[in-house]
Amino acid sequence: MPIMASRSKKTRAAPFGVGFFAFGERASLFTKLEESRRAVRKDMEAANRDKKQKGSEENVGTSLFHRRLAQRMLPDPQEEMKFLLHRMVVIGRISPELADKRDLGGHYEKLSQHLQRRYQADAFTGLLLLYPSHVMHIVESSSDVLVSVLRDLKDMQTCPHSALIVEPRVLVVSHDLRSRLFQEWSYKVLDLPATTLSDRNRNREPTEKMVTGALKQILKLGSHLLNGRKDSSVSPESLLDQVPELIVPQDVLAQLLEREELLTPQQYLQTYHSPFNKRITSGHMFGSGCSNTV
């Protein structure tokens, strides 16, 4: 019996040893898998850190695009980025059927309020000068607002009998401005004598020089109004009356309207704000024997 007992002990100990060995192998394999996973995770984290570092370096200003983008950011990081500011100057003739020029000012006053509600983040500022027979409109806002103003002018030309402005032309459009010249929108009815040029000197002045001269006067006028606003007791109308020499003469506007180099609102919209998707219906492929088909 003792011999039998010793044999039974030996036979029971054998399976325990095999199971323990198998469990050890599984534990070792699990440890190796965990180590490999940790290594892969470390490699991925290192790759993400390198990617973020490169992105941050790019945002700091490694390219001209990012530097220009950083210049347009507001000083307060909590605020959103400013929209791009543009300035447009449009000239034209006041319709002879318009009895009261203030109706034209009221039209643009309603349009500015409508656009302000539609584009709440884009302020509508500028100056509308109503001459005895001509008009000059300066608008500062986003591209969407300027396009809306041009479309309003284009729609006027489709109904010439009810048009308030006749033969409008785009004098100049300045893009990506750093600051405004006008802090609000207003209009002014001018009572200025129209000085006429002689026919001999009427067409001698190049268009580019005339546009540059008119733009200089507009910038000087805007700077004068901007500096004069520091004195709250002075009204904008009195500020305009102080510097009649900074107002572009009416005869200069009449000359500019005759220059074909200046685009109409319809031409400007068609050139710069229309999709370029012309369909090619025919052509000639190299190696083809037929010259009229592809």
Q: pLDDT-based confidence at 84, cuts 50/70/90?
A: confident
Cβ atoms of 109 and 164 closer than 8 Å: no
Q: What percent of the chain has pLDDT over 90?
A: 41
How large is the average pLDDT for residues 108-120? 91
Q: What pLDDT, on a 0 to 100 scale, did the predictor assign at position 253?
A: 95
157 touches 266 (CB < 8 A): yes
Same domain, 60 and 152: no
Q: Compute the distance between CA of residue 49 and CA of residue 19 in angstroms, rounded to an integer.
A: 45
pLDDT at 200 over 50: no
Asked if residue 209 lies in contact with residue 154, where contact means CB atoms within 8 angstroms, the answer is no
d(CA 53, CA 42): 16
Q: How many CA atoms lie within 13 A of 5 on its CB side?
A: 2
Rounded to the nearest integer, the mean pLDDT of the chain is 77
Same domain, 6 and 123: no
Does any domain span residue 187?
A: yes
Half-sphere exposure of residue 35: CA atoms within 13 angstroms, side-chain side:
6
Q: Are 129 and 187 in contact (CB under 8 A)?
A: yes
Q: Which helix (DSSP H) or strand (DSSP E) does residue 169 occupy?
A: strand 165-177
Residues 51 and 89 in one domain: no
Q: Does 49 have pLDDT greater than 80?
A: no
Q: What is the mean pLDDT of residues 2-17?
A: 46
| Domain identity same for 170 and 231 | yes
What's the domain count of the chain? 2
Round to whole Å and give the CA distance between 40 and 34. Answer: 10
Give dist(CA 129, CA 252) in Å, integer. 14
What percent of the chain clears pLDDT 70, i.e. is strictly above it?
Answer: 64
pLDDT at site 65: 59
The answer to whether residues 41 and 138 belong to one domain is no
Same-domain check for residues 91 and 187: yes
Which DSSP helix (H) or strand (E) runs through 108? helix 102-118
Domain co-membership, 111 together with 220: yes
- Our CA angle for 132, 134, 139, nearest 5°, is 120
Say if 5 falls within a structural domain: yes
186 and 213 together in one domain: yes
Domain that holds residue 39: 1-71
- pLDDT for res 157: 87
User: Residue 283 domain-assigned?
Assistant: no
Question: Cα(135)–Cα(4) distance, rounded to whole angstroms?
Answer: 124
In angstroms, the CA 248 to CA 217 distance is 6
Greater model confidence, 35 or 23: 35
Whether residue 294 is contained in a domain is answered as no
134, 195, 208, 217, 247 from 201: Cα distances, Å: 21, 13, 16, 21, 21
What pLDDT sits at residue 7? 46
Does 7 map to a domain? yes
- Distance, CA of 3 to CA of 9 (rounded, Å): 10
Mean pLDDT across the stretch 10-21?
47
Whichever domain contains 190, its CATH number is: 3.30.70.100
Residue 208 has a pLDDT of 93
The yes-or-no verdict on residue 72 having pLDDT over 70 is no
What's the average model confidence in pLDDT over 239-265? Answer: 91
Q: What is the pLDDT of residue 79?
A: 41
**48 and 172, same structural domain?**
no
Residues contacting residue 146 through CB under 8 Å, at least 6 positions apart: 86, 88, 139, 173
Comparing 6-10, 97-101, 205-209, the range with the smallest average pLDDT is 6-10
Judged against a pLDDT cut of 60, whether residue 57 lies above it is answered with: no
Do 41 and 161 have their domain in common?
no
**pLDDT (average), residues 61-77:** 56
Give the closest residue to 122 by CA, choosing from 105, 147, 96: 147
